[in-house]
Amino acid sequence: MTDAKIPYSLNSKAVAEATRFWLQKRGVTILEIAELVMLLQKKYYPNLTMEECIHNVEMVLSKREVQNAVLTGIQLDVLAEEGKLFTPLQDMIENDEGLYGVDEILAFSIVNVYGSIGFTNYGYVDKLKPGVLERLNDKTTGQIHTYLDDIVGAVAAAASSRIAHRKQAEREQELGLPHAPEDVEEAARRSVPENEEPE
Amino acid sequence: MTDAKIPYSLNSKAVAEATRFWLQKRGVTILEIAELVMLLQKKYYPNLTMEECIHNVEMVLSKREVQNAVLTGIQLDVLAEEGKLFTPLQDMIENDEGLYGVDEILAFSIVNVYGSIGFTNYGYVDKLKPGVLERLNDKTTGQIHTYLDDIVGAVAAAASSRIAHRKQAEREQELGLPHAPEDVEEAARRSVPENEEPE
Amino acid sequence: MTDAKIPYSLNSKAVAEATRFWLQKRGVTILEIAELVMLLQKKYYPNLTMEECIHNVEMVLSKREVQNAVLTGIQLDVLAEEGKLFTPLQDMIENDEGLYGVDEILAFSIVNVYGSIGFTNYGYVDKLKPGVLERLNDKTTGQIHTYLDDIVGAVAAAASSRIAHRKQAEREQELGLPHAPEDVEEAARRSVPENEEPE
Amino acid sequence: MTDAKIPYSLNSKAVAEATRFWLQKRGVTILEIAELVMLLQKKYYPNLTMEECIHNVEMVLSKREVQNAVLTGIQLDVLAEEGKLFTPLQDMIENDEGLYGVDEILAFSIVNVYGSIGFTNYGYVDKLKPGVLERLNDKTTGQIHTYLDDIVGAVAAAASSRIAHRKQAEREQELGLPHAPEDVEEAARRSVPENEEPE
């Protein structure tokens, strides 16, 4: 894997790209996650667009903490699907054992990226399993998504939290309130040329 | 409060009793929390009784970590109701500000007492606000329950997790499986004379 | 506090300013927190400057999640100092009771803002109590800093995590590696005119 | 792994045994973890015995949440050692990448089992790497313990928290204070015949 002659050096771009690659390979599109976000947020922001939802999912997926959790969780799903884990971990992940909670722990580290206000949204979608989550929970396909279904719900919950923070910033700007520091970061981010945004 | 002549010494019984006193004073009964547990768990355990739900809520409330969170949260609610917090914390707690998430953080420390498997149940009841949670969220009463509504949902979620663990232990005992260590603790606990159980 | 005629509306600037006001009023300077950061990080980054440490502390303090935790913790310290909490919460906070862990829970929500890599740094400074933390832990002053000492350690730990993320981004830029999304955010932030940075 | 004809059913005893098996196979003894506990706690409890430390480590390891984290973490270490993870996860775990924090997240779920008071102890041993932790961090052996070293520190921190809770219960019993509910559980546990304790 690593060539003995090249010393290890973290490549952030490679981590980001692997995250997108593996989500897609496991059958989850950014659009589907954005649809969960819309479901969670449209009641609070009637003018919310799918474009905004997609953008916020992208921003969540650009966070390293999120990438680490996504890659680790999908890796465990894939290995379980191939039957390569040791017993009884294999059995617990393969059967999405209710008393095995490490998948929720990883999901939680994703939700946390935009703070505690996302906890509720995570629990809600994880319980109701709308849209893509229903498909990921179908136990008849032979595929194992014990981690991925929690991860997808967590990304949607984190994106919802991000939207809540941004909408507040927009509201304050419209009211002509002086910039709070977080607005500055947002403003700076918006000034980034489109083609430098994560695609 | 503390008498200068008596050095401080933690009194666990006093902490446990204050927890029950303040829950009751703020209008929440053990029975109402148990009803949330029943709502969350009856679909998984059709034979679950209200007595079991009540017992599991009691056991959650006997945990010190839970007591600390309950007392701290109710204290902040009460002070907000009396207008005694400094600005802008007063405004945020008084108005249950969506971007203020410390109430969720305390709730989360309660859910965690029986592990990550309770995260989902917490988010679900916190979103749907069934039973007592609807009343606690009524903003027209003049009462402030910014912390308490999250706390009550968290206690119900933790009790649900505790039931899931116990039901597994019972299932294994019925199958004649050798005791796992956790069963031993459960068994020991069941051997405690009734009158020593938390009332 | 809130005027009955003006409907509540969150003012982010006021929350950010109150955070700085209360830290200062309770005797903690940004410089002292930055010194903890330097202590934690100089061994990994020998060229790290105090200016960088200060900037990173400022950025941590600009996060709303952090501001909420700082304000809530200091409020509880102040009320305990004034003897205004109910028993036994008053006793536990007044005496920095070892089995009362809500202060650690708030601290943890601060550390988490830049992810799990800060857990270790938090525990380390909280145990050794260097610099400002030693003063905050002096129990002979009559002041109560049960929350504040954990909060200050947590802000320093979060700033350390932020530095670790930024240094990696710098390293990759020097290597001419393509920008990862997080670099874009950093780059955008650096393009903000100086006077729009937090104070 | 699972035989198609036997439907899956969680076997708690098997999970508990696998946890001990894998700790031992990866070169960590209960005694070494107990030595970390002694190091952390002897200053607070001068009469603390190694026997007590061992017992408290055993009780932490009997918790399902802990077993899940231990097994998952060791599995990832073993797979990394065998080079079987996908890039770039393989590189990050193999090289104990500083910006990869999933190991700390799992460790944290272990510490949490006895509440937030253990956070500090975890960070402290994880930073200083005393005893067994120094050996696990030796990068020259070809072995990979990216997860295990954090896990071992977390088990020691959790055991320290458990001791703090028990010592308080003992102190109150000596003072003749009425039983708090947690004492009841402790008392019940002590009445379990020795041979039913986790070996």
Task: Say which range, B47-56, D21-30, D185-194, has the weakest mean pLDDT.
Answer: D185-194
Q: Exposure string (b/e) for C66-80, b if CB count within 10 Å is 16 or more?
A: bbbbbbbbbbbbbbb
User: Do residues B147 and B76 make contact, with C-beta atoms less than 8 angstroms apart?
Assistant: yes
User: Which residue in A116, A185, A191, A194 has the most chain C C-beta atoms within 10 A of its own C-beta, making it the best mutation to test that interface?
Assistant: A185
Number of C-beta neighbours around residue C174 at 10 A: 8
User: With 90 as the cut, is the pLDDT of residue C191 above it?
Assistant: no
How far is the C-alpha of C58 from the C-alpha of C20, rounded, in Å? Answer: 10
Domains of chain C (ranges plus CATH)? Answer: 17-196 (1.10.3760.10)
Enumerate neighbours of A (3 or more CB pairs within 8 A): B, C, D
Of D92, D105, D76, D103, nearest to A79 (Cα)? D76
Question: Long-range CB contacts (< 8 A, 24+ apart) of C5-9?
Answer: C8/B91, C8/B94, C8/B95, C9/A171, C9/A175
User: Which residue in C179, C182, C199 has the most chain A C-beta atoms within 10 A of its own C-beta, making it the best mutation to test that interface?
Assistant: C182
Enumerate neighbours of D (3 or more CB pairs within 8 A): A, B, C
Number of C-beta neighbours around residue B11 at 10 A: 18
Is B17 at the interface with chain C, CB within 8 A? no
Torsion sign across C-alpha atoms A139, A142, A144, A148? negative
Residue B12 or residue B194, greater confidence: B12
Rounded alpha-carbon distances, angstroms, from residue A127 to A67, A94, A132, A137: 23, 19, 13, 11
User: With 50 as the cut, is the pLDDT of residue D188 above it?
Assistant: no
Non-local (6+) Cβ contacts of C177 within 8 A are A11, A12, A13
Task: Classify residue A170 as exposed, middle or buried by CB count within 10 Å of its CB (0-12, 13-18, 19+).
Answer: exposed
| pLDDT, tens digit (0-9, with 9 covering 90-100), for D75-116 | 999 999 999 999 999 999 999 999 999 999 999 999 999 999
Of C120, C122, C114, nearest to C33 (Cα)? C122
The answer to whether the CB atoms of D68 and A1 lie below 8 A apart is no
ipTM of the complex: 0.89
Q: What pLDDT does residue B40 have?
A: 96
End-to-end distance of chain A based on CA atoms, in angstroms? 27
Position of tokens 């999405």? Answer: A96
| B165 contact residues in A (CB cutoff 8 A) | 99
User: With 60 as the cut, is the pLDDT of residue A5 above it?
Assistant: no
Question: What's the rounded mean pLDDT across residues A41-69?
Answer: 97
User: With 70 as the cut, is the pLDDT of residue B192 above it?
Assistant: no
Supply A147's token pair: 């981690």
User: With 60 as the cut, is the pLDDT of residue A137 above it?
Assistant: yes
Is D106 at the interface with chain B, CB within 8 A? no
In SS3 terms, C174-187 reads as HCCCCCCHHHHHHH
Is C120 at the interface with chain B, CB within 8 A? no
User: Do residues A146 and A96 make contact, with C-beta atoms less than 8 angstroms apart?
Assistant: yes
Of B58, B52, B80, B55, nearest to B148 (Cα)? B80
End-to-end distance of chain D based on CA atoms, in angstroms? 27
Is D45 at the interface with chain C, CB within 8 A? no
How far is the C-alpha of D95 from the C-alpha of D109, rounded, in Å? Answer: 23
The answer to whether the CB atoms of C71 and B89 lie below 8 A apart is yes
How far is the C-alpha of D59 from the C-alpha of C143, rounded, in Å? Answer: 38
Residue type, A55: H
User: With 60 as the cut, is the pLDDT of residue A109 above it?
Assistant: yes
Q: What pLDDT does residue B5 have?
A: 55
The answer to whether the CB atoms of D68 and A100 lie below 8 A apart is yes
Question: What's the rounded mean pLDDT across residues A13-18?
Answer: 96
User: Do residues B73 and B87 make contact, with C-beta atoms less than 8 angstroms apart?
Assistant: no
Query: H or E element: which one contains D89?
Result: helix D89-94
User: With 90 as the cut, is the pLDDT of residue B64 above it?
Assistant: yes
Whole-number mean pLDDT of chain C?
Answer: 88
Cβ contacts below 8 Å, chain A against chain C, sum to 104
The answer to whether the CB atoms of A105 and D109 lie below 8 A apart is yes
Confidence of residue A179 (pLDDT cuts 50, 70, 90): low
| pLDDT, tens digit (0-9, with 9 covering 90-100), for D33-84 | 999 999 999 999 999 999 999 999 999 999 999 999 999 999 999 999 999 9
Residue in chain A nearest D95 by alpha carbon: A8
User: With 90 as the cut, is the pLDDT of residue A163 above it?
Assistant: yes
Question: What's the rounded mean pLDDT across residues C110-124?
Answer: 93
Nearest-CA distance from B115 to chain A in Å? 7
Number of C-beta neighbours around residue A92 at 10 A: 25
User: With 60 as the cut, is the pLDDT of residue B168 above it?
Assistant: yes
| pLDDT, tens digit (0-9, with 9 covering 90-100), for C82-93 | 999 999 999 999
Is C62 at the interface with chain A, CB within 8 A? yes
| D113 contact residues in B (CB cutoff 8 A) | 115
Whole-number mean pLDDT of chain B?
Answer: 88
| pLDDT, tens digit (0-9, with 9 covering 90-100), for B92-146 | 999 999 999 999 999 999 999 999 999 999 999 999 999 999 999 998 999 999 9
- Of how many residues is chain D composed? 199
The answer to whether the CB atoms of A113 and C115 lie below 8 A apart is yes
The answer to whether the CB atoms of B104 and A98 lie below 8 A apart is no
Q: Exposure string (b/e) for A95-109, b if CB count within 10 Å is 16 or more?
A: bbbebbbbbbbbbbb
User: Which residue in D92, D104, D151 has the most chain A C-beta atoms within 10 A of its own C-beta, making it the best mutation to test that interface?
Assistant: D92
The number of CA neighbours under 13 Å toward the Cβ of B119 is 31
User: With 80 as the cut, is the pLDDT of residue A25 above it?
Assistant: yes
How far is the C-alpha of A198 from the C-alpha of C94, rounded, in Å? Answer: 49
Question: What's the rounded mean pLDDT across residues D15-33?
Answer: 98
User: Which residue in D100, D104, D139, D144 has the most chain A C-beta atoms within 10 A of its own C-beta, making it the best mutation to test that interface?
Assistant: D100
User: Do residues D113 and D66 make contact, with C-beta atoms less than 8 angstroms apart?
Assistant: yes
How far is the C-alpha of A45 from the C-alpha of B148, rounded, in Å? Answer: 27
The crossing angle, in degrees rounded to 10, of helices D64-81 and A64-81 is 80
Q: What angle do CA D194, D198, D199 make, to 5 degrees?
A: 80
Enumerate neighbours of B (3 or more CB pairs within 8 A): A, C, D
User: Do residues A172 and C9 make contact, with C-beta atoms less than 8 angstroms apart?
Assistant: no
Number of C-beta neighbours around residue B31 at 10 A: 12
Question: What's the rounded mean pLDDT across residues A80-102?
Answer: 97
Non-local (6+) Cβ contacts of D119 within 8 A are C104, C107, C108, C119, C122, C123, C126, D108, D111, D157
Residue in chain A nearest B169 by alpha carbon: A99
End-to-end distance of chain B based on CA atoms, in angstroms? 27
User: Do residues B22 and B79 make contact, with C-beta atoms less than 8 angstroms apart?
Assistant: no
Position of tokens 């700076």? Answer: A188
Nearest-CA distance from C13 to chain A in Å? 5
